Amino acid sequence: MATVTVVIPTYNEADNLPALAAELLALPIPGLRILVVDDDSPDGTGKVADDLATAHPGHVSVVHRKVREGLGRAYVQGLETALADGADYVVQMDSDFSHPVDAVPRLFGTAEATGAACVIGSRYVSGGTLAAEWSLRRRALSAWANFYVRTILRIRLRDVTAGFKIWRAADLAALHLDGIASGGYSFQVEMHYRASRAGMTIIEIPIHFSDRRAGTSKMSLRVQLESALMPWRLLFKR
């Protein structure tokens, strides 16, 4: 039986995490585990995660980070922990319900059936959709960001900034996570770029991307600036 570990970085997500964990644990994936990586959330998310781990021993675990360094650094620690704990597949997923829980079995099934290194839940392949609540400005910004990154790095993905995906453990380990440079959301682009450069197979399947249920976005101006500059850094670093 394959072990699937869902890595969920959190910062002030106490209102979302219990319901998200309940929906994930109810999925028809017997080997599913949840790894919460909390960046010392002041709203008590870390305590909520610890309570979930106590209630679901062997199925929920927590990494507590004392310094908030950004999404990318939290993901690196979470992914490395999942690999060290023996995961066969590792899912990356947001904690705010923007990524559909019921699509996790489709990601896993596609990865198993195809042998792909990575299967992305994509907003921009045929059949993918965005939340109706998204403004025209937000839709245009997201579409432009994908076009911008694809053009600079020549990555043949429709949703190159996607954050919802599953990795085959052996391929994830081959990306040498300790060398990841991105601290923020550009982590997603850097991972896709590294995998593409390594010749790994990446498949996109359509999902519906929802608006967050509770809490606020963590997309600061500094994070947006890093995301704009990172493709150029990756290109010249190559």
Is residue 238's pLDDT more than 60?
Answer: no
Q: What is the mean pLDDT of residues 156-170?
A: 95
Which residue ranges form the domains of the chain, and what is each CATH number? 4-237 (3.90.550.10)
In the three-class reduction of DSSP (H, G, I as helix; E, B as strand; rest coil), residue 199 is classed as coil
> Who has greater pLDDT, 170 or 180?
170
pLDDT class for 180, splitting at 50, 70, 90? confident
Q: Give the per-residue pLDDT at 118.
A: 98
pLDDT tens, position by position, 70-125: 888 999 999 999 999 999 999 999 999 999 999 999 999 999 999 999 999 999 99
CA–CA distances in Å: residue 209 to residues 80, 143, 177, 213, 228: 27, 14, 27, 12, 22
| Cα torsion 13, 14, 19, 22: sign | positive
Between 150 and 6, the more confident residue is 6
Taking residues 146-155, what's their average pLDDT? Answer: 87
Angle (CA) 175-176-182 rounded to 5° is: 90
- Give the per-residue pLDDT at 12: 94
pLDDT, tens only, 67-80: 887 888 999 999 99
**For residue range 204-233, what is the model confidence (pLDDT) as tens digits?**
999 999 877 665 655 555 656 665 667 667
**Averaged pLDDT of the chain:** 90
* pTM, rounded to two decimals: 0.90
